[in-house]
Amino acid sequence: MHIDYKLRGTTLTASLHGEIDHHTAAIARSEIDMEIDRVKATGLNLDLSDISFCDSSGLGLVMGRLKKMKAGGGSAVVVNPSERVEKVLTLAGIDTLMPIKKEERK
């Protein structure tokens, strides 16, 4: 698992690469939170387009970041999950709590 960051204004895009399970989610969680705090982001895009595996830990990771952003008055969006990743995320109705955005791949 590795993560790339891009900041536009105060919106942080975190692009996650690799597999999300309980092991990697713990690492991603602390890394992303540190970056959110460092740049004082008010918006968070979690780009999951390059996630090849995701179990319920991914759900926890996304929900946790949404909670953190909302607690600070901000917002969070999931961007480009694969059909597979989306299947896991929507099983718990995450799509009713936050937008899942699908963008054209460049």
Q: How far is the CB of 73 from another protein (least distance, A)?
A: 21
Structure letter (DSSP) for residue 21: S
Residue 18's SS3 state is strand
Query: Rule CB under 8 A: is residue 63 a binding residue for another protein?
Result: yes
Residue 18 tokens, joined: 């690799």
For residue 30, what are the contacts with CB-CB under 8 A and spacing of at least 6?
A: none
Query: Rule CB under 8 A: is residue 59 a binding residue for another protein?
Result: yes
Stretch that binds another protein, among 4-12, 38-46, 50-58, 71-79 (CB under 8 A): 50-58
Q: How many residues does the chain have?
A: 106
Query: Rule CB under 8 A: is residue 78 a binding residue for another protein?
Result: no
Stretch that binds another protein, among 2-10, 42-50, 54-62, 69-77 (CB under 8 A): 54-62
